Every structure is written in C-alpha cells, then in structure tokens.
Structure 1
C-alpha cells in the first residue's frame, strides 16, 4: 500500500495479508509541550512501546520543543525517566539505545523566530543523517491559544510544507475550542497552514480497543445490528464516571467543566459509533460520512430545565477516604459555576432512532470509575406469564464496557430452577482479558502510529468537531443563564436532578 503523499511502499502494509503488523515508514516527530504531563505520562511511553514492538522505523527521530535550557543528553534522560515510569512493555536497553540516538531538543518560546529557525535547521539535518525522508509529524500538546503562534512559525519556516516526495502532518490535542465559534476559528488557523487531510485531532477514546470493537460487534454479527433500532431499543445510556476530583487541574478545569471536557468529544463520538448506519467500508471517508450523518441528526431534547442536569461535588466519602468538596479544592474559585457533573438528553432524528432518548452523563467524584454504553431494550409486546412469575424481570440490555473490565454484558430473562415458572434477570458476560491472550495496545500507541501512517479513521474531522459543538452549545448557553449547579456528595452518583431527568420518561440510570 503506497503512502498517498510520498509514494513510499511499505511491504508490511500490503493488502496480501492484513494480519501483518503495520509499520511506519521513514519519519520523525516534533512534540511541542514535551515537558507537560501528557507527554511525560502518555506520549513518550507510547513512542517507546511502538519502538519496542518494532513498529517504528530504525531511523525514527524525536525532537522535543520547550522553554527549558536542555542539552540533547538532558532531554534524553528526561525521556528515559518517563519511559521507565510509564511504558507498557518491558524495558530493553538495545531498543532504548537505538531510539535515543534519534532524540534532540530545541529550546525556545512559541513566538521566538530564532528558535524556530534553529528547529527547521535541525529537521533538515535529521533528514540528511537519520533517513527521515522529510516526513514529519508536529504534535501540539499545548493549549489552543498557542496554536496560532506555532502554526504561523511552522508556515514561516517552511516546516509545514509537504512536497511530492514527503509529508508534513499536525497532531492536535483536545480541547478543540470552547464552543462552535471558537472551534471554527481554530480550524481556520490550522487549515490555513495544513490541509485537512494532514490534520489529526486526537480523541484518545477512539484509540481504545473496546471503542473500536463497537464496529465489530455491530457489523460482524447478525445477532445484534438488526435489533439496533427504535423498534426494539427503548433508551441508550452513555456514562463516563470518574471517582477522582480535580487532582491539581483546578486552574485548567475551571471554566471548562464536564460537558466541554468529556461530552463534546468522547461521549458524542461514542454516540456516533453506536447510532451510525453500516458504512460501505471501514475506510476513513466512509466512516466519517456515517458519523457526520448521525451528528447532523442529533439534537437536544427540550425543555432543557427538565432534560439536562449539572452539579458540583461537595465533601463526602470516596470509599474509605474522606474527601473535600469542589469549592475547597486548591486553586478553584468557590464562586465558580463550572460543573463537575453533566447529564443531558439527546435525540437522533432519523428513521433508525426516532423516539429513542440518548442519555449522556459524565462526572467526577462519582461512585466508581467506569465508562460504558448501555442499550436498554423494550419489553416483549406480550408476556404470557402471571405477574408474579416475572416480578423480578427487567428489560433486556446490551452493555459495552469501555473501561475498566473491558467487555460486553448481555442481560436477559431466564427461568429459575424449580417447579414454578419464575423468570429472573441473568447476565452473560464477555471479558476481553479472559477471551484473548493478545495484549491490547495503549490508545496513544494506536493513534500515534495511525498518524504516522496517515490512517485517519480514528481522528475526528473539523466537521465532526463543529457539529458536536452545535449539539452542545444550546445547552451550555442555557446553563450559563441558569444559576449555580446542583450539589451532590462525593462518592454518590450525582445530583437528584440527574435522576429526575430520566424519571420524567419512566427511566432510571443503570447502576454500573
């Protein structure tokens, strides 16, 4: 399979046997914000793990850009410490030495012309001596307000310019905007320098094996997809719950909140994968087409005072630990209305999903850490049992556990052993860890490798980002005029208004 921009053919990307590993071609990466938590905890360990699995080229080159006055040796030691602390695979000295040979550090600020001139010279030197072939990915692990400066510098120095023989790509971390207007502004800034096919917006949830398995579960099995309609499904619940508080992120989190931080990206992407129609193929264009169709059809349910809820956690117990409330968290403005719990009701206005409420919720300091998608089925139209026989029978359900304990649970009714016809709910539980001996790669491994390979299926486009904000903006505007969020105790499952949101339809949150 040929690289679309430089014609390089990777024999292990051939269509002859797609079971062979996908190996990146000659390339390098520059990480802006390399001294931040994300790079230290996720990106640098993921790059080592890819090298350790033999998925990076021998001449792969890593350049860090930051304000610290580091030498190449000091940067290499920093990367090694991050790798030893966070790598998923075993540390091998030979792999490390080969990877470390291609490391370097560029010191400077984002508005420093001289620093970017030196960076451009460094890339040219690496192309000449490391065999990177002019192929570079620029990872913006930086705040969005710095995108413009970095993109301008990359354009000014010619580093963003691809040729017929080489590619240049930009990889961008969320959050991508605060609303639709700011997202469009950021898209315009980035797309003025990089064409859309060279922009890779990271949503690390899409790199998780269990999220990708949604497509396999639905479209590889006749058992499921025919039932994936409003004819059989009563409601869909998508939950991302965390049991931690702000944990030192108060300055970042204040003014963003649970809806912007999680729902606009992670949960709406999960909704799109759950609700989309079968694509013609799993090519990036076909997948995007079906996701965009779903997002265009998705709207809030009104009135918003009944179909949404938000809250802030107060002091309580997280397991056996007593924890402080949000307003006592260091660095958080006690007068802030930023929510740590957000729940909303959406509808997908198309033939497949008409009338089915999609309930999305996310929060901090909830009962336990869990991300799951629950499809709750309607009751059978006729039950030929006495009421006493089925008093313990609930709705059938398919639950996709994204994390932890990755797997799929099916709940259905079964007869209780005995002389009476008593039917009770039972669970059939599939676990990834028990069913497969293969180890799942960490999400950032998959996404970094995909960016190097120009495999864009798991990266939201500018259109998807803007559509997601179109869905969320009316709710955020309503909340901005609605006063303070409700309160809920740490260790519980959110404010009472979150339960009432479902109760108005005769529904209740599934307890993970």
Structure 2
C-alpha cells in the first residue's frame, strides 16, 4: 500500500478520551505497519496544560492499552507527538497556534500539508473552521488542507443544513471528511465485494428474491457516565440517523460505475433520497421506541435508564428503536427493511440479515415451522466478523425431513490476516485523500430529512408510547409486531463464545 504524503495531523481536543482510546492507538498501529509518511507529526491541541513529555506519556498509555496490532516499538512514533495549549474558543489565540504549526512544519519538513481533526464538542464544529480560515489555514495553495468532523453532525435537519453551510463557507466539500466509524469496519466494506463480485448474489439482490432485510446493532451496556449526553441524543440520533441508515444504504445501493469515492457516494445518496417518508401521524405504526428498566443481567442487578447519573427521573428518551421502512425505487419496491438498535440488550452485536423469499411450494414437509423457513445470508459486522449462509438440507434417515444448516466464514480463520480498526482505516484514507468511506454533506441531509418527522412526532405527540423493557432482553416485545406475518427478528444469541459475544 502506498504511503501518504508528508503532513501534520492536528487534533483539536487532544486531551480527551477519543484521542487516547481511538486516534493515537490507530496511528500507532499505522506506524507499526510503516504506513505513516516519512516526515509526519501529530500536534495535539487543548486547554489542558501539558508538556510534550506529559502528552506523550498519556498517549503511550492509550497506545499500549488500545492498539490492535501486536509487536513493534512505538518509541519513534511517540517522538512524533507534540502538544500546544491554548483556548480554542478564542479567535485571538489562533495567531499563536499558527506560528507554532508553521514552526513545527519547518522542523518536520511536512510541506505545509495539514489535516485538522475536530475531536471536540459539536459546538466547536462551526467555530474552528472559521478561526482557521482567519489565519489562512483553510487554503490548499501551499499544501493540502483537510478537515475531519466527528459525529454528531447536527441534531436535526435544520442544524445539519446550517452546519454544512458553515463548513462550506470556509472549506470546499472535497476538503471535508465527515467520519462515521461504522464505514471503516472491514466487514462493512466487504459487503460491497460480496454483492458486486459474486455472480450468485447480484442476480438475487432485488424485490423478486428478497423477502425482507434486517439490520441489528445492539449493545450490552447502558449509558454509564454519558447520561447527560444521551438525554440530548437518544438512540435515534446516536445510532439510527447515521450508522444504521448508512448500513442499509450499502445493502440497497446500485452497482457504482467505478470503484471510487464519487461513484460509491453517489449511489448511497440515491438510496437515502429514495426512502419513503413516514408521515407524522403514522409514526407509531412504523417505529417502536423503548427504554430499559432495572433488572438482572448475568446474575447482577443493573439500574434502569432513569436511575442513571445525569438522567431525568421522568425521562422519555429512547434507549431502543425498532423501525420498518421502504425504499421506493425499482430494485426494492415493496421490500420492507427493518432496523433496530438498543442499549442493555443481551449482547453486543451488529449484523445484517438478508431474508430470501421462501420456495413457492412445500414438497418436503407439512410442518408449518419448516414451511416458514427461508434462506438467510447473515453478514456479521462486529464482533466475530464473518458471513453465514443458512439453507435447508435433508436429515439422514427415512423420509424428507428438512433441517437448516450453516455455511460460514470467519475473518479469524485467516491466520495471516490483520483486521485493522475502523479509525485506523479511516485515518489512513484521509491521509491518502480518499473520501470513499466518509459521509458526504448531501447524504447527511437526506438521512436527517427522513428522520426529522419521526423526532417531531415524538415531541408533539406525547401519546406515542415509550415501552419499557427489562435490561438484558431484546427490547420491547411489541417490536416483533413490526415484522409482517408470523415471523420475528433474528435472535443471534443461542450460543455465546467465552460468554462475551454470540457466535455467528
């Protein structure tokens, strides 16, 4: 793999948890693989007073604990870390920052190439680009200038549109990288290869052969210390608007004309623009929201959401969402998509399940359970990454009794393969100037346009229920009613591996 051009990665909010747990470990892993430029530096910024040595020691702890790739020394990498303390909210202090950056650029020889990473609260997303522009640090004249923006990207359609407008006032769309770490996962990218490189799948990937599509992303933890944040966000904003709609778009998109950023992102946008709107007066028919209540998980008492720190004791904020929606285009007309996400569910798992149409005859059994069986393709995003195909086979012996069997593949079976972390892949892509796995502005706005009426219905119609569900269960039982007929969600938890996650 080619190395990126020499540059400096500037991290705003470098004293925070994201930098220590995700960004620096990912960079350390790239260093171990010799994928960083020869002339490279990280400049961490924050209000906390730290020396370079203090910052390096703190980041060494993060790299040691959270990096993915084993072996290799990171001492040389740690020497590339620098820190500068200033008030990032004060326009006047950016002149001093610019001088520090230019001095470091001259010392490193990075060719005036800068990537600015906003690991800050969302309130800073509009301010920092403006202050960078004041110092001329937004222009691509001397070297490339790129801006990575973390989620949440707005909290409704209006705020997302305003944020896009604010960013585009100072940076071009080609310079803006809106990060969604789900798109950095290897299995998500493999979804495109599975679909478009295998002749056995693509002819079946449409309304004629697929009965419905299911996307699940569950967590087995609560909100923890993030109660006050979650009160503002909730599962719809935190997971559905970005992660799950993007996963659904990758399942549903048309083949891109080329394997490049523009072509792939064009097809994602077309899917999001084809989502059938859910009218505000029909939200309770298509969307179920829930909130976990106190219960026992693995023999231990756990608190309900309303008992968590920073949470309103009368909160109606959703910690679980299940939704049914349709994509109104030629390929998917009439095929329901079901997505669900929640906290305090039985296990941590993200997977896509393609449910194929049942056979049009019932030759081999009068058993209604067998008649309802459908072939399934399960694409496990995390953990236990891999693919599984379920199909019917004859049980040995007399008669024609049918049993589901599995044909599966696990990434862990590739002994010599290394599965990069999502941030590792996405940081390298930005360094290479490849925005394929980053969200484009029009895609973000299209997703919000679909979600906005649901959020407004919840605000304006308090009669729409928030269903309680005991921690450790798969959410409100009523969520099964979303799925047509006598089918239910796939519950992937028959077997646990080491008691930590469900086997694929």
TM-score by length of 1: 0.92
Check whether the contact 1:239–1:371 (CA below 8 A) recurs between aligned residues: yes
After superposition, the C-alpha distances for 1:112-146 in whole angstroms (9 at most, x for unaligned) are 23432121111211221211101100000112111
2:115 pairs with 1:134: no
Check whether the contact 2:219–2:349 (CA below 8 A) recurs between aligned residues: yes
Equivalent residue for 1:258?
A: 235
Check whether the contact 2:355–2:375 (CA below 8 A) recurs between aligned residues: yes
Equivalent residue for 1:171?
A: 148
Give distance in 2, aligned partners of 1:184 and 1:389. 51
2:132 pairs with 1:151: no
Describe how 1:442-457 pairs up with structure 2 within 5 A.
442-457=421-436
Check whether the contact 2:235–2:319 (CA below 8 A) recurs between aligned residues: yes
Relative distance call for 1:456 and 1:492 in structure 2 (3 A) is same
2:186 pairs with 1:206: no
Give distance in 1, aligned partners of 2:12 and 2:369. 60
Equivalent residue for 1:4?
A: none
Give distance in 2, aligned partners of 1:422 and 1:497. 33
Equivalent residue for 1:10?
A: none
Describe how 1:60-75 pairs up with structure 2 within 5 A.
60-75=40-55
Partner SS, residue 183 of structure 1 = helix
Check whether the contact 1:84–1:91 (CA below 8 A) recurs between aligned residues: no
Give distance in 2, aligned partners of 1:465 and 1:387. 48
The alignment yields a C-alpha RMSD, in angstroms, of 1.6
2:429 pairs with 1:461: no
Give distance in 1, aligned partners of 2:243 and 2:442. 15
Any stretches of 5+ residues in structure 2 without a counterpart? 493-504
What is the CA distance between 1:108 and its match in structure 2? 1.5
Equivalent residue for 2:480?
A: 499
Give distance in 2, aligned partners of 1:33 and 1:58. 25
2:13 pairs with 1:33: yes
After superposition, the C-alpha distances for 1:78-103 in whole angstroms (9 at most, x for unaligned) are 2212212212223544x422x23332
What is the CA distance between 1:75 and its match in structure 2? 1.4
Partner SS, residue 105 of structure 1 = strand
Partner SS, residue 192 of structure 1 = helix
Higher alpha-carbon deviation: 474-483 or 138-147: 474-483
Give distance in 1, aligned partners of 2:435 and 2:415. 26
Equivalent residue for 1:490?
A: 471
Residue 273 of structure 1 is aligned with which of 250, 255, 262? Answer: 250
Runs of 4+ in 1 over 6 A off after TM superposition: none
Give distance in 1, aligned partners of 2:322 and 2:370. 30
Higher alpha-carbon deviation: 390-399 or 200-209: 390-399
Equivalent residue for 1:194?
A: 171
What is the CA distance between 1:263 and its match in structure 2? 0.7
Give distance in 1, aligned partners of 2:2 and 2:175. 19
Relative distance call for 1:371 and 1:132 in structure 2 (3 A) is same
Relative distance call for 1:185 and 1:232 in structure 2 (3 A) is same
Give distance in 2, aligned partners of 1:199 and 1:34. 19
Relative distance call for 1:366 and 1:389 in structure 2 (3 A) is closer
Give distance in 2, aligned partners of 1:488 and 1:390. 28
What is the CA distance between 1:301 and its match in structure 2? 4.8
What is the CA distance between 1:389 and its match in structure 2? 9.4
Give distance in 1, aligned partners of 2:273 and 2:217. 23
Give distance in 2, aligned partners of 1:70 and 1:481. 47
Number of aligned residue pairs: give it. 488
Give distance in 2, aligned partners of 1:214 and 1:78. 37
Any stretches of 5+ residues in structure 1 without a counterpart? 1-20
